[in-house]
Amino acid sequence: MVDRQTIDQWRNAPRLTTFSAFFERAASGQGGAPDLAEPQADMSLLDFDIEAAVLADTHRRLVGHFDSHYFASIPYRLEEQYRAGAAILAFALRIWARNASPTTIYTLGTGTGCLARTLATLGGGRIKALCCSPTAANRVAFLAKRGSDHAHFFHGPFFELDDARYAADQDLAPFREGFDILFEDTTFQMYDRDRVRQLEFIAPRIRPGGLLVQVQKLAHKDHKIYEERERQKDELFKPRYFSTRHIAEKKDEILSTMLDLQVDLPTTVSALKGFFRYSVLTWNSGNFYTIVSSNSRASVLELVSLMLKPAIPPGYCYEQLPAAIVDTKAELLAPALKWRKANTILTVAPRSLPAS
């Protein structure tokens, strides 16, 4: 149980104080949006995979203002959303098929909840999805393009979703027994450096056999390496979408403060070991990482086996993936990790008819 002092500390964290105005502007379309071009995924990096294409088609129709800012800010994060989203969808439908009951998914701190809405829409009642955000404009964007009655929004920070709130709020009834997949997206780094306390709050909500998927921006023990990766992002990727002025403004307003709340990979691993038997790096883009964790070896292997190889140019990826960062000697995970092959659209498209 997380103590009241920690909750009060989170309540006074940058995400709810110094950052709140920025997020409100970005979510309402009044600032922070790309001023040169809208982010577009390079589907060739996904090998024109059918499952990723289906996810992308629905996702594109549900994006909100904040989504444009987000995907234009992190190199190849949009491609990763399609890649991971397609795998999560397939994993969720397998759970539904085995249990004959809806799979529950919680995307914690994901802005407009575009991924949650996409999964609920494609699930057709087989997936119940929840997202949360303390930003009012994200709730407006969520309701404007809800996509499915099986998508739910909680207006507030993640730590207000405690047992009492689940019990009292009828809209949260589908999630009272916990989640099959809990997806935390660059949120912890906005509140605190204490990853153990943050995991202590959310981990009990994950069902047996369930998964925690995290997108984290991590510090590095060598600050020069960290800064070089930041320069790559700011000077090679973001100028496709943002002017130099916009990039500098965001760095001054957000990134300098957020750096203080980031932790490095060893600290992350140490925290995860206290809650999970297995954790795997499944994506890396500069200082950003996707980590999948669970106490179920079978669940981690199943999700990873449903993922395509990372859809990112090699120059942006600094890890050999997939990589087990928390493993159990008695039942090693690492040797069994492998990606799936693309179900490529080009291989099933009808061939051109011969000229008459």
Reported as a single tens digit per residue, the pLDDT across 287-301 is: 999 999 999 999 999
Give CA–CA dist 27/325, Å, rounded: 34
Q: What CA–CA distance (Å, rounded) separates 42 from 51?
A: 15
19 contacts: CB under 8 Å, gap ≥ 6: 190, 254, 257
38 phi/psi in degrees, rounded to 5:
-85, 145
Length reported for the chain: 356
Distances, alpha carbon 190 to alpha carbons 20, 92, 196, 289, in Å? 11, 28, 15, 16
Is residue 71's pLDDT more than 90?
yes
For 173-228, what is each residue's pLDDT tens digit?
Answer: 999 999 999 999 999 999 999 999 999 999 999 999 999 999 999 999 999 999 99
Do the Cβ atoms of 295 and 279 come closer than 8 Å? no
* pTM, full prediction: 0.94
Model confidence at 116: pLDDT above 70: yes
Section 91-99 average pLDDT: 97
Query: In which band, very low, low, confident or very high, does the pLDDT at 321 lie, cut at 50, 70 and 90?
Result: very high
Q: List the beta bridge partners of residue 132.
A: 108, 154
Cβ partners under 8 Å of residue 148, min gap 6:
117, 120, 121, 123, 124, 129
Q: Which helix (H) or strand (E) holds 7?
A: helix 4-11
In three-state secondary structure terms, 38 is coil
Kindly state the tokens that stand for 69: 């800012």
* pLDDT at residue 350 is higher than 80: no
State how far the Cα of 115 lies from the Cα of 103, in Å rounded to an integer. 15
What is the four-CA torsion angle of 158, 160, 163, 165, rounded to 10 degrees? -120
How many CA atoms are closer than 13 Å to the CA of 314, on its beta-carbon side? Answer: 1
Band (61; pLDDT cuts 50, 70, 90): very high
* Band (252; pLDDT cuts 50, 70, 90): low
C-beta separation of 181 from 91 below 8 A: yes
Q: Residue 253 carries which side chain, given as an amino acid letter?
A: E
Query: In the predicted model, is pLDDT for residue 249 greater than 90?
Result: no
Mean pLDDT of the chain: 94
The pLDDT score that the predictor gives to residue 353 is: 45
Cα–Cα distance between 323 and 325 in angstroms, integer? 6
Q: Taking 90 as the threshold, does the pLDDT of residue 258 lie above it?
A: no
Provide the token pair at 317.
């990826």
Whether the bond into 322 is cis, omega within 30 of 0: yes
Residue 259 has pLDDT above 80, yes or no: no
Q: Which residue has the higher pLDDT, 345 or 146?
A: 146
Q: What is the largest CA-CA distance in the chain?
A: 79
DSSP for 278-341? Answer: EEEEEEEETTEEEEEEES-HHHHHHHHHTSPSP-S-GGG--S-SSEEEE--GGG--GGG--PPP
